[in-house]
Structures are given as C-alpha cells and as structure tokens.
Structure 1
Amino acid sequence: MFKTVSFLFLLLGVVIQSHAMPLIDLSQPHYQIGKSMLFLEDEDSSLSFAEIEKIPDARFEPVDEDICSYLFTRSTLYYKFKVVNTHSSALNRLLVFETPWLDSIQVKVISPDQTQQTFLTGTLFPFKQRAAEHPYPNVEHEFKPGVSTVYVQIKTRDPFIVPISILDRESLFKNYVSVFAEPVNNSV
C-alpha cells in the first residue's frame, strides 16, 4: 500500500512538473520563447479572453518548440508565460510577434500587484497602434519588479506560425538590421 501511494505521489509530481513554466528573466533579450510557454487551443473559439486566466495550468499544454506552429486552423490559440523583473525598478520590454500576417493578437499582462493591462495588435489594427514602427506586430509594457503573468490570444486565417520574443527596443532593431544586412551571394 505504501509503495502504491508513494508511486502515485511521484506520478503526480511528474505531471505537475511537466506543466511548470520556467520564468523568463527580463534582464536580457529572449528570442523565440516557445519552450517557456503553455498553450491552449480553443477549437470553437468559445472562450472569452477574460475567461482564460481562470483556467488552471493543467488544462494548458507545454510548447515543445521555440516557435509555435499549427499551420491551418480556425481555432483561437491562447499562450501563457511568466516573466520576472529582478531589478528594483520597472523595465520596458516589447513583446514581438515575428510573423507579420497574424490578424488579431490580444495581450494581457497581470503585474505582481494584480493590476492588469491589455493590448491589441495584428494586421486588423492600424500600423500606428504598434509600440515600435516595425513590420512585426508588437506591444510594449512596463514590467514592475517581481513576477508577472502574460496571456496572449491569437486569431488568424493564415498559418499559425507564432515566434514570440521579449526584447528591448535596441535588440529589436539590431536583430532586424542584422537579418537584412547579411551579404547576398551574387554568383551566377
């Protein structure tokens, strides 16, 4: 009996740990944070964004890749991750969605003091609404010291390829310039 109970507790620990999210440290840039997130597929798009934070982590699934991809689906996808600001003051960071064709992206940040802020971006919204003038949809948030929880809702008619990065402005533009500044091989 003792062995059975011990085994069940061990199994429960493994299941709980498999859904644990690592904290993303905001003191450095993080590119393509897929493996640090959980996701939930809402196949009939029946959940409201307000309901998502009430869903326990056990209903979410861990993301196994740096870039989340579902190709074609009519589902609404939700992502959840936690960030930590270890500084004594707030840090401004951009959440960058490195796929320019995503129709609607809604982001909710719940700060350590439980205050909430919501952002909208994507191709259905004016370009000027983006925090940084950049081809990739992005939003900017001032993260208070401590652990914040971030929820992301994505809807699109196009392929669901969702690389999410958390960057400061300098890293965003430095990376963007380096991608397009690669030498081109002009051999015939």
Structure 2
Amino acid sequence: MGIAEGVADVVAAHPLVRGVEPTGSRARGTATELSDWDFHVDAEDFGQVASDLPELIAPFEPLAAQWDPLGDCESYLLIFSGPAKVDLLFPDVLRSWNPPWRVGPDTLPYIDAHFWDWMLWLVSKRHHGMDDRVRGELLRMRLHVLEPLGIAHLPSSLQDAATRYIRARDRLETRYGLHIPRQLQNEVLPLVGATMTIP
C-alpha cells in the first residue's frame, strides 16, 4: 500500500477527521495494478480539513494535487511518482460540476494536472476492459478540456487524446511564455501508450 497508506494515516490523524476508510476497487479486491486508491473521509469540519490538506500532503511530494472539477462530491485528487493515484473523497459534501475550463496563462497548469489525472484514471479503466466507459469519458473530456484548448475533434483513443492535448498545450505554452513541468506527463504518458517524443 505504501504511500497511499501513509496519506490515509496522516489524514486520519487530523483532529477534525472522524475516520478514513478505503473504498472502490481496492477495498472490493477487484483492483488492477493501475487502479487508484480511494478513501472516504468523514470530516467534522470539511472547510478546515480541506484548508489543511495541502500542508498535510506536502511531505509526500505529490506531482499533482487538486480538487476534482467534475466530482459529485468534494474529492482531493493526488498523483505521486510511480505513478500512484490517491483520491480522498468527502461523500457528505456534495458539489456541482465546474463548467468547461477557461484557458489562460493562469489556468493552463491546472488544466495540465486535470488532464493527466483524468488520463491515469482512464488507463486503469481500459485495463479493466471498460471500453464503453472510456469512450464516454473521452466525450466528456472533449467538452471540458479539449475544446477549450481548440481541439474540436473527438479523440479516437487515449493515445489520440494525449497526442492532441500535448500539441495544443505546447502551442499555448509558447503563446503565454510558460513552461509546465513535464514530470507528471512523463509518468503517465508511457502507460497511455502514445508514441511520440516527450519534450
């Protein structure tokens, strides 16, 4: 369990957390090696716990840490080197989906983290043989991430989505004078199977 267990233990030790329980495929015993680690967090004061999470998680050096823009409940999504995906779910704190991303120099790094988190999750679904789920998620990804980047084409596969995304993001980096670190991309892209040079 490694880093996932460490994250769960640190969160469970917070004085305003009543409990942290594993859920999802790992808890059911149906996980593959690529499945994420899901934990339900029961918080007495969600606002305070949410505010404290970045500092609690920082010693584990996550490659990405973000609140799920498209979750039905508040979910803190983490990716660590490996890669390992850990999701902290607050099922009692319901939310509405964010609208599609607004692209700009202030949002592009967050879009990048969202895209690669989504791709890592979809790789695990593909590994489970859930091809219909993957196709449905690619439709949603086109609306929320790819179209705002100027990609109108529906990706035919995860590889196609990654290739088109990288090209669009790189063009925007040049336009905005930005460079987003590639460590997260370099962790996830080999699992996607895209055959292209990584900048």
Q: Which has the higher relative contact order, 1 or 2, with Cα contacts under 8 A spaced 6 or more apart? A: 1
TM-score bucket of the superposed structures, by smaller chain: under 0.3
- Which structure has the greater CA radius of gyration? 1
What's the TM-score once normalised by structure 2's chain length?
0.27
In terms of fraction of residues, the more strand-rich structure is 1
